[in-house]
Structure 1
């Protein structure tokens, strides 16, 4: 007699592929954020500069 066989799962998960896809999409997300940030700086470069760098520092005597 053959031993009873368990039903075979039709949903096999490849863990390595899952990690690779997760980090790939994470990398694409950061790339998209960097592209948007760079485009904002190109369109309006003076908004990225801190106002305190243009002011003279008060010296206490």
Structure 2
């Protein structure tokens, strides 16, 4: 009575959970590199400046 194709398919909730964890790790890796650049050179890495650009 059980359909064999249904049991071999990927669980949707498990797929969403795995995708969420993968995207979370990618986001954390990107943030680690951005924070590392900010610590290495804080003046060059900052996006917002309070002073007007003179050049």
Common fold: TM-score over 0.5 = yes
| Runs of 4+ in structure 1 over 4 Å off | none
Q: Which residue of the other structure, out of 18, 32, 35, is the alignment partner of 1:35? A: 32
The Cα RMSD (Å) is 2.8
Higher-Rg member (1/2) = 1
2:12 counterpart residue number = 15
Structure 2 CA distance, aligned partners of 1:55 and 1:26?
36
Q: TM-score, normalised by structure 2?
A: 0.69
Q: TM-score, normalised by structure 1?
A: 0.64
Name structure 2 gaps, 5 residues minimum.
none
Name structure 1 gaps, 5 residues minimum.
57-61
Which has the higher relative contact order, 1 or 2, with Cα contacts under 8 A spaced 6 or more apart?
A: 2
- The structure carrying a bigger helix percent of its residues is 2
